Amino acid sequence: MLDIKNLNINLNTVYGDATAVRNLSFKLEKGKTLGIVGESGCGKSLTALAVMGLLPENSWSTGEIIFNNKNLLSLNEDKLCKIRGNSIGMIFQEPMTSLNPLHTIGKQIAEPMILHGKVTRSMIKKEVLNLLDMVGIPDPLKRISSFPHELSGGQRQRVMIAMALSCKPEILIADEPTTALDVTIQKQILDLIKDLIDEFGMSMILISHDLGVIANNVQEIIVMYGGVCVEKGYTKKLINNISHPYSQGLFSAIPTLEMQEDSEQRLKTIPGSVPEITEIPKGCTFQGRCEYVSDICVKNSPNSVKISEDHEAYCFNLDKLN
Amino acid sequence: MSIFLLKRFFTFIVTLLGASLLTFLSLEILPGDPARVILGIDAPQSAVDALRLQLGLDRPMVDRYFDWLAHLLTGRFGVSYTYNVPVMDLIKHRIGITFPLAILSMLLSVLVALILGIYAASRHNKIGDVSVMGLSQLGISIPNFWLALLLILFFAVNLGWFSSGGFVGWDKGFIKSIQSLILPAISLATVQGAILARFTRSAVLETMREDYVRTARAKGLTRRGTLWKHVLRNAMIPVITIMGLQFANLLAGTIIVEEVFAIPGLGRLILQAISNRDITVVRDVVILLAALVVFINFVVDVLYAVIDPRLKPQDV
**Could you give the CA distance from residue A147 to residue B265 in angstroms, rounded to a whole number?**
47
Q: Which of A98, A176, A207 to mutate to test the interface with B (most CBs of B within 10 A)?
A: A98
Put simply, the answer to whether B220 touches A83 (Cβ < 8 Å) is: yes
Q: Which pLDDT belongs to residue A148?
A: 93
Residue pLDDT, tens place only, B173-203 = 888 888 888 889 999 999 999 999 999 999 9
Q: Establish if B281 belongs to a structural domain.
A: no
Assess if residue A279 is contained within a domain.
yes
Chain A residue closest in CA terms to B310: A149
Let me know if residue B17 belongs to a domain: no
Greater confidence (B162 vs B238) lies with: B238
Per-residue DSSP letter, A14: T
**Are A116 and A70 a contacting pair, CB within 8 Å?**
no
Best mutation target, A115, A168, A205, to test chain B (most B CBs within 10 A): A115
Q: Is the pLDDT of residue B315 over 60?
A: no
pLDDT at position A262 over 70: no
| Predicted confidence band of residue A128 (pLDDT cuts 50, 70, 90) | very high
- How far is the CA of B118 from the CAs of A99, A192, A317, B198, B243, in angstroms? 22, 40, 56, 9, 15
Q: Identify whether A12 is part of a domain.
A: no
How far A57 CA lies from chain B's nearest CA (Å)?
A: 11
Question: Which chain B residues are Cβ-neighbours of A115 within 8 angstroms?
Answer: 219-221, 225
- Asked if residue B61 belongs to a domain, the reply is no
Which of the residue ranges A55-64, A269-278, B141-150, B200-209 would you say has the lowest mean pLDDT?
A: A269-278
Q: Which helix (H) or strand (E) holds A162?
A: helix A153-165
| Å between A316 CA and nearest CA of chain B | 39
Q: What are the chain A neighbours of B216 within 8 Å (beta carbons)?
A: 100, 111
User: How confident is residue B143, by pLDDT bands cut at 50, 70 and 90?
Assistant: confident
User: Interface pTM (ipTM) of the complex?
Assistant: 0.88
Domain count for chain B: 1
pLDDT reading at B99 higher than 60: yes
Nearest Cα to Cα of residue A244 among A232, A235, A256, A226: A232
User: B4 pLDDT exceeds 80?
Assistant: no
b/e string for A26-37 if b means 16 or more Cβ within 10 A?
Answer: bebeeebbbbbb
Whether residue B54 is contained in a domain is answered as no
Residues of B within 8 A of A149 (CB-CB) are 309-310
Residue A147 lies in a domain: no
How does B240-271 read in b/e, with b if 16+ C-beta sit within 10 Å? Answer: bbbbbebbbebbebbbbbbbbbebebbbbbbb
Q: Which of A80, A100, A114 to mutate to test the interface with B (most CBs of B within 10 A)?
A: A100
Compare B28 and B189 and report the one with higher pLDDT.
B189
Residue B50 counted as domain residue:
no
The pLDDT of residue A162 is 92
Q: How confident is the model at residue B312 (pLDDT cuts 50, 70, 90)?
A: low
Say what percent of chain A tops pLDDT 90.
Answer: 51
Instruction: With respect to residue B202, please indicate whether it lies within any of the assigned structural domains.
Output: yes
Pairing of β A59-67 and β A228-234: unpaired
**Cα separation values, B189 from B105, B106, B131, B237, B294, Å:** 5, 6, 19, 21, 20
Which residue range is the domain that position A285 belongs to?
237-322
Task: Mean pLDDT check: name the lowest of A141-150, A158-167, A306-315.
Answer: A306-315
The nearest alpha carbon in chain A to B308 belongs to A102
pLDDT, average across residues B256-272:
89
Q: CB-CB: which of B211, B223, B307 is closest to A102?
A: B307
Range of the domain at B158: 90-267+288-311
Question: 10 Å Cβ neighbour count for B138?
Answer: 11
Flag whether B106 is in a domain: yes
> What number is the average pLDDT over the span B140-159?
86
Q: Is the pLDDT of residue A42 over 90?
A: no
**Contact between residue B267 and residue B99 where contact means Cβ atoms under 8 Å apart:** no
CA distance to partner chain A, nearest, from residue B19 (Å): 35
The listed range with the strongest mean pLDDT (A102-106, A247-251, B1-5) is: A102-106
Residue B243 has pLDDT above 80, yes or no: yes
The total of other beta-carbon atoms located within 10 Å of residue B161's CB is 11
Q: Sort out which chain A residues have CB atoms less than 8 A from B230's CB and list them.
A: 100, 103
Does pLDDT of B313 surpass 60? no
- Nearest CA of chain A to the CA of B210: how many Å? 7
Q: CA–CA separation, A58 vs A152, rounded Å?
A: 33
> CA A42, CA A276: separation in Å to the nearest integer?
10
Q: Is the pLDDT of residue B133 over 90?
A: yes
Express each pLDDT in A153-188 by its tens digit.
889 999 999 999 999 999 999 999 988 888 888 888
Residue A200 to residues A33, A85, A203, B118, B220, Cα–Cα distance (Å): 13, 15, 9, 41, 20
Helices (H) and strands (E) in chain B, counts: 13, 0
- Whether the pLDDT of residue A14 is over 60: the answer is yes
Q: Which range among A64-73, A74-83, A197-206, B86-95 shows the weakest confidence by mean pLDDT?
A: B86-95
- Angstroms from A117 CA to nearest CA on chain B: 12
A292 part of a folded domain: yes
Beta carbons of B309 and A100 less than 8 Å apart: no
Taking 70 as the threshold, does the pLDDT of residue B255 lie above it? yes
- The pLDDT value given to residue B85: 87
Question: If interface means Cβ-Cβ distance under 8 Å, which residues of chain B face chain A?
Answer: 210-212, 214-223, 225, 229-230, 233-234, 307-310
Nearest to B218 among A90, A147, A149 (CB): A90
pLDDT at residue B59, as a whole number:
84
Rounded mean pLDDT, A124-150:
92
Q: Number of structural domains, chain A?
A: 1
Chain B neighbors of A89, CB-CB under 8 A: 218
**A224 to chain B, minimum CA–CA distance in Å?**
24
With 50 as the cut, is the pLDDT of residue A24 above it?
yes
We report the CATH number of the domain holding residue B259 as: 1.10.3720.10
Name the residue facing B310 among A81, A149, A160 (closest C-beta). Answer: A149
Q: Do A82 and B220 touch (CB under 8 A)?
A: yes
Question: In A, which residues are within 8 Å of B236 by CB distance?
Answer: none
Q: Is residue A195 part of a domain?
A: no
CA distance to partner chain B, nearest, from residue A81 (Å): 4
Evaluate whether residue A177 is within a structural domain: no
Establish if B209 belongs to a structural domain.
yes
Give the residue, A90 or B44, on which the prediction is more confident: A90
Q: Is residue A213 part of a domain?
A: no
